[in-house]
Amino acid sequence: MEDQGDEFRFAWRALSSWDYTVTDKSGVLVRKAAIRTDFKEMVREEKANETRDRQELIWIYITRVVANLLVIIILGGSGYVIYVVADTTLTPEEVPDFLQDLFSKYQLPVAVSSLKVIVPPMLHFLCKLERWHPRIEIKLNIIRTALFYLASLVVFVTSLYDVSSKCVSGDQNGTFTHRNLSDFCCWENEVGEEIFKVVILDLVVVILVGLVLDVLTAIIVQCHIWNKFGYREFDVTSNVLDLIYSQALIWLGLYFSPFLALIQVIKLVITFYVRYIIARYCNTPPTKVFKASRTGTFYMFILLINLFVALFPMTYSVIVLSPSFDCGPFRLETHVYEVITTRIGNLPVWLQDGLNYVSTSTVIIPLLILLMLAVLYYKTKTSLYQNLITELRNQLKFERRVEKRKVFRKAKVSQDKFVH
C-alpha cells in the first residue's frame, strides 16, 4: 500500500526485502549485502535529515561555496589546458625531430584523455566535502562530471575548428597551378585524425585505469600485502558517463571519418569484456543501490545534449565551411550542400517551392509553438497523474486506519464478552 512513504520504512525493508528466487550461494551473499547496504543508506538519510545547529550550518555553507568555486576553477582550467595544448607546441627545441613530430600529433589527445582520468575523482571528492543529502550528492556528482565532459568536448570542438581554419583560410586554398604538392591540405582528414586519436586513446585509458586501479588493488588484497586495501567498488555512474562521452566523440567525427562507426563497435566490444572481467573478479557490488528507473531518463537527457553539441560543428561544416580543394567527395563544390543540385539534379518546381515555403518562419514558428504546447500538455498530464497517485495513497492510509480501529473494537468487544 505504501511503497514510497516514510512510515515504518525499516520494518517494511526488514520483513519484505528478500528475493526468494535467489538460490545460488553467491547470489544470496550479494542480496544480503544489498539489504545491508540499503539499511545503511536509510540510516544515512535519517542522519542527513536531522536538524543541525547554527555553527555547523554556517560551516557547511562556507564549505559548499568554496567547493563550488573550486569546481568552476577546475572546469575552466581544464578547458584552458585543452585550448592551450591545441594551440601551441609544448615540446622543447632540443628534442629530436621525430619526437617533436610525435608529441605535436598526440599532445591534444593525451591532454583530453588525461583530464578525463584526473578531473572526475577531484569533483567526487569535493562533492563528499559538501555533506549533501545522499540522493542530492549522487545527482550533483553526475551533473558536475557530465558538465566536465561536455565542456571538454566543446573546447575540443573549438580547437578542431582552429585546425580546420588554418587550412581553409590559408594560402593553401589557392588554385592547383599556384601550389606545390607539399601544400595540399585536407582539413576534413585533419579533424577526423584528431578525433580518431582521442577515441583510440580513450580505449587505452579505460584499459589502463582498470588494470592499474582495479586489478592491482585486487592483487594487493589477494596477496595480503597491505590490509588497509580492499576491493574497489564497481562504479555504475562513471562507466555510464564514459559510454556517453565515447558516443559523443563518435557523433562528432562521423562526418569527417565514417570509419569511426566500425571502430566504435570494436571499442564497445573490447570495453564490455574488459569491464566484465574486472567487475567479475576484481570489483565488489556498489554500496549505493543504482536505481536505473530514476536515473535512466537523466542519462538520456545528457546523451541528447551531447548529440546537439556534436551535431552543431557537423552542421556548420556542411553549411558554412568550404570543403577541401584537394581531396574528398565534395572537393569540386563551394559548399557541401550544393552537391544535391549539382550532382543529383534540380528539383521539380513544385517541390522546390514547397521546401522554400516549409523553411520560412510562417511554418517554423507555429511548429515550435505546437511542440511547446505538446510538451506542456504531457507535463500537466504527468503532474495530474502524480496528484491522483498521492490521493489514492492517502485514501489507502485512511482505510487502513479505519480497518485497524474496527479490528481493535471487535477485539475489545470479544474480550469484554469473554470476561463477563
DSSP structure string for 340-368:
IIIII-PPPHHHHHHHHHHTSHHHHHHHH
Distance between CA 160 and CA 87 in Å, rounded? 10
pLDDT at 266: 93
DSSP-derived letter for residue 185 is -
Q: Kindly indicate the confidence band of residue 295, based on its pLDDT and cuts at 50, 70 and 90.
A: low
pLDDT at 60: 86
Segment 143-158, tens digit of pLDDT: 888 888 888 888 877 7
More confident residue, 208 or 231: 208
Q: Which of 49-58, 211-220, 302-311 has the weakest average pLDDT?
A: 49-58
Q: Does the pLDDT at position 279 exceed 70? A: yes
Contact 102, 143 (CB under 8 A): no
Task: Give the Cα-Cα-Cα angle 314, 317, 321 (nearest 5 degrees).
Answer: 170
pLDDT at 1: 42
Contact 349, 357 (CB under 8 A): no
| Cβ neighbourhood burial of 53 (10 Å; 0-12, 13-18, 19+) | exposed
Residue 21, helix vs strand vs coil: coil
Phi, psi of 348 (to 5 degrees): -60, 155
pLDDT at 173: 45
More confident residue, 117 or 183: 117
Cα distances from 34 to residues 286, 293, 371, in angstroms, run 9, 17, 43
DSSP-derived letter for residue 320 is T
Q: Kindly indicate the confidence band of residue 373, based on its pLDDT and cuts at 50, 70 and 90.
A: very high
Distance between CA 263 and CA 241 in Å, rounded? 19
CB atoms within 10 A of CB 310: 21
Contact 216, 158 (CB under 8 A): no
Q: Kindly indicate the confidence band of residue 225, based on its pLDDT and cuts at 50, 70 and 90.
A: confident
Contact 282, 231 (CB under 8 A): yes
CB atoms within 10 A of CB 173: 16
pLDDT at 103: 72
- For residues 296-321, give the mean pLDDT: 82
Q: Does the pLDDT at position 181 exceed 60? A: no
Residue 228, helix vs strand vs coil: coil
Q: Does the pLDDT at position 255 exceed 80? A: yes
pTM tops 0.85, yes or no: no
Distance between CA 285 and CA 235 in Å, rounded? 9
More confident residue, 260 or 167: 260
Q: Which of 6-20, 53-67, 88-102, 197-211 has the weakest average pLDDT?
A: 88-102
Highest mean pLDDT among 294-298, 302-306, 340-344: 302-306
Distance between CA 103 and CA 279 in Å, rounded? 34
Contact 242, 206 (CB under 8 A): yes
Q: Which of 297-301, 327-331, 352-356, 377-381 has the weakest average pLDDT?
A: 352-356
Highest mean pLDDT among 171-180, 275-284, 391-400: 275-284
Instruction: Tell me the three cell numbers of residue 342.
Output: 549539382
pLDDT at 227: 62
DSSP-derived letter for residue 213 is I
Sign for the pseudo-dihedral over CA of 135, 139, 141, 142: positive
Distance between CA 242 and CA 271 in Å, rounded? 10
Instruction: Tell me the three cell numbers of residue 185.
Output: 591540405
- For residues 249-275, give the mean pLDDT: 89
Residue 254, helix vs strand vs coil: coil
pLDDT at 184: 59
Task: Give the Cα-Cα-Cα angle 141, 159, 192 (nearest 5 degrees).
Answer: 100
Cα distances from 36 to residues 4, 9, 172, 231, 283, in angstroms, run 19, 14, 67, 18, 18
Q: Kindly indicate the confidence band of residue 66, based on its pLDDT and cuts at 50, 70 and 90.
A: very high
- Total H helices, total E strands in the chain: 13, 2
Q: Which of 111-115, 116-120, 337-341 has the weakest average pLDDT?
A: 337-341
Q: What is the mean pLDDT of the chain?
A: 79
